[in-house]
Homo-oligomer: A and B are copies of this chain.
Amino acid sequence: MSKAKPRKRHQLRPTTIEPHRTAAAGSVIIRQGDTHVLCTASIASEVPRWLLDPQTGEPKRGWVTAEYNMMPGSTPDRKRRGPDSRGTEIQRLIGRVLRAAVDLDKMPGVAITCDCDVMLADGGTRTASITGAFVALSQAIAAARKAGLIKGNPIKGPVAAVSVGVVDGQIYTDLDYPLDVRAEVDMNVAMNHQGQFIEVQGTGEQGVFSREQLDELLDAATKGIRQLMKVQRKALS
């Protein structure tokens, strides 16, 4: 699907995060090569019941969750609608990483859902979703602060994610689909702005990986994420 120019092994695909008009409080399209994801962040108009303290009836904290969806036209073979087990696993990952970016105690009663709808899929959709959704989430939180729903600033700092992997024995950063299908090892890494890990998910279904490779993979991911955070900052400024 992708006609990307020859990239160096650790060169990210060209990445942009641009605002996209929807009715949600936060809304961007992240394009990382031929992977395009619409990320929207919607604030619930009512306080969800389960955020309320059963004793006082007052909300004690907020919540951030995510949904991930491949749109029908995102793949050459039309993707059938509806939840599947892969999507379920991915949206749990996205939700966990986004929650690591915010202090939920500082946004009592505010529930934000980040929807990641993949418009074009060329590998790395889950990591692009994280990187883009953080921006949409930040926009939504800014809107909630403006509207007086949130008092302080619950954002602890940016989070972003990248995929790295081993293909033909070599380490690559930001795998597109052709690389991904050939990869012996596939690893998704999410980090914060202080270079700390939030999630490390390395899988070797078609191979295994040594401690040395793991170290190299983490080095590559760390560098890639640092660059992605620049794109995020630009989008948020």
Taking Cβ atoms with an 8 Å cutoff, the residues of A that contact B are: 1, 20-24, 27, 36, 38, 40, 42, 44-45, 67, 69, 71-78, 81-82, 85-86, 88-89, 92, 96, 99-100, 113, 115, 117, 119-121, 187, 191-192, 194-205, 208-211, 214, 218
Contact A71 B117 (CB under 8 A): yes
Q: Which residue on chain B has the smallest CB distance to residue A203? A: B199
When all copies of this chain in the complex are counted, the total is: 6
* Closest B residue by C-beta to A72: B115
Other-chain residue from B23, B81, B201 in contact with A75 (beta carbon distance below 8 A): B23
- Give the residue of B20, B23, B73 whose beta carbon is less than 8 angstroms from that of A22: B73
Residue among A23, A198, A201, A204 with max Cβ neighbours from chain B (10 Å): A23
Tell me how far the C-beta of A81 lies from the nearest C-beta in chain B, rounded to whole angstroms: 7
- Of B40, B100, B192, the residue contacting A73 (CB under 8 A) is B40
Chain B residue with the shortest CB-CB distance to A115: B72
Residues of B near A1 (CB, < 8 A) are: 23
> Which of B23, B96, B199 contacts A120 (CB under 8 A)?
B23
Query: Complex formed: what's the CA distance from A195 to B210 in Å?
Result: 7
Which residues of chain B have C-beta atoms less than 8 A from A71's C-beta?
22, 38, 40, 115, 117
